[in-house]
Structure 1
């Protein structure tokens, strides 16, 4: 019988290894794009979208105007805005279509993914690589014992929380004050 702690340690080791291999300069460029944008939009599909929704919520707690593409209150994107695309392969059809439309409206596009040579590259102003195994099996990917692309989705979520912590430190935000942005109709 496999023990919980053994499996949890394998997952957390993979996650730590992955996050240590994300490029600081790429993350700094993404931070700059977020800070200068009026609105930050997020697009992805499946479990990636779930991670992106969590990131959007956390950044909203920090005062960033965030929207998930397709939500009922989504405003128009403009040349003052940023679209963050989550796609490990960079080949997922819906995010590609949305990135192309964002560029047609002169918005900036940031792609967080695993494949630097993807079709998304044509539309991206910023790329942050999470160097994990994808369905493409490219060289220099960090392998995972987890099913499918779990390591990418986990890494994306923790990258988002890392960005939030970096913003808190840079802006010297008092974390006790963040509760005023938390949902209060619960």
Structure 2
């Protein structure tokens, strides 16, 4: 069984893939650290219970820096438990990171495996930008790359293929994702969403399951820009999410375009005078029919197989904050220096 760990968008990229692993035929048991049914306050308390219930336990971590606090504390806790009990065969700590000299990498190399995934090259940046990166808007290359890798691993597991097959799938996904992004950038959808985000209004993101993770990851990045112009961004279903107002924007993600709860949100949002932008796998779906603008990402997917739609949706929405910065700057908005430095470093 798998316990996925990470912080911010790194956790989101991992969660999308392990969610697909859990749904596939002969899928993996996945228990999130934050689940109400997690059997212990500490990993060391939960470890023997999970081992008894499900067999071998994998602490699977996604951390670009290799220093993320929550995963580091949990990894140290499980490492201590393994050291005390000698149960090396029952537990493993596996990590994807861009820093193989980091504390997490040292733990994982001793108690499991480390996969070195390079992020973008280091650039000179102000102290403000470094802080900004820590809260989630930087390291786009690592986040998207790790998402592709985890999804490719899920497909290889589904096919019961050799590990080398995962790299083949990763290459396929990257090539197709590039085409999706290129098509998205010139779409009416991007023009509509960018224009709406420039206005003084709230922005909401919504989705269920893997779509929720895509929504949350995108919301984190867009929120930094919206806050800079005095607005807020929210994710549907979270406790702090307010009621929408007339003129607000809802961006929803749904592979089928028929998710009943999401379609109910759309109906309520329209009734309150809001506008909807939908990222869907089917432009003829119920959710698409209620949207003011639609981005269709059609994916042929075998039932039970990990769905690439969510990875492509991540990529398709990733340029949104970059285009928003460019558009605001062109209109004369004075943006904080750390946002401009981030924009320059990403587009360089």
Could you say which TM-score interval applies, normalised by the shorter chain? 0.7 to 0.9
RCO higher in 1 or 2 (8 Å CA, sep ≥ 6)? 1
8 A Cα contact 2:180 2:316, kept in partner: no
In the alignment of these two chains, the number of paired residues is 169
Displacement of 1:171 in angstroms is 2.7
Greater CA deviation, 115-124 or 74-83? 115-124
Unaligned segments of structure 1, at least 5 residues: 137-146, 180-186
> CA deviation digits over 1:68-94, x for unaligned, max 9?
111111111011201111112110111
Q: CA deviation at 1:10?
A: 1.9
Q: Is the 8 A contact 2:210 2:310 kept in 1?
A: yes
Assess, with a 3 A threshold, how the Cα gap between structure 1 residues 176 and 128 changes in structure 2: closer, same or farther: same
- What is the TM-score with the length of structure 2 in the denominator? 0.44
Classify the secondary structure of the residue corresponding to 1:171. helix
Q: Give the drift of 1:170.
A: 2.3
Moved more, 43-52 or 163-172: 163-172
| Deviation, structure 1 residue 32 | 1.5
Q: 1:158/1:175 Cα in 2 relative to 1: closer, same or farther (>3 Å)?
A: farther
Inter-CA distance 122–10: structure 2 relative to 1 (3 Å threshold): closer
Larger Rg: 2
Residues 72, 115 of structure 1: CA spacing in aligned structure 2 closer, same or farther, 3 A cutoff?
Answer: same
Q: 1: distance between equivalents of 2:323 and 2:309?
A: 21
Unaligned runs of 5+ in 2: 1-161, 341-348
**1:148 corresponds to 2:299:** no
Query: Bigger shift: 16-25 or 94-103?
Result: 16-25
The answer on whether the counterparts of 1:84 and 1:109 sit within 8 Å (CA) in structure 2 is yes
Contact between 1:89 and 1:115, CA under 8 Å: does it hold in 2? yes
Shift of the 10–135 alpha-carbon distance from structure 1 to 2, 3 Å rule, reads: closer
CA distance in 2, matches of 1:37, 1:114: 30
For 1:6 and 1:135, locate their aligned partners in 2 and report how far apart those are by CA, in whole Å: 19
TM-score normalised to the size of structure 1? 0.79
Q: Which shifted more, 42-51 or 155-164?
A: 155-164
- Greater alpha carbon shift after TM alignment, 74-83 vs 16-25: 16-25
Does 152-161 or 97-106 show the bigger shift? 152-161
Name 1:34's counterpart in structure 2: 197
Structure 1's 125 and 134: CA in aligned 2 closer, same or farther, altered over 3 A?
Answer: farther
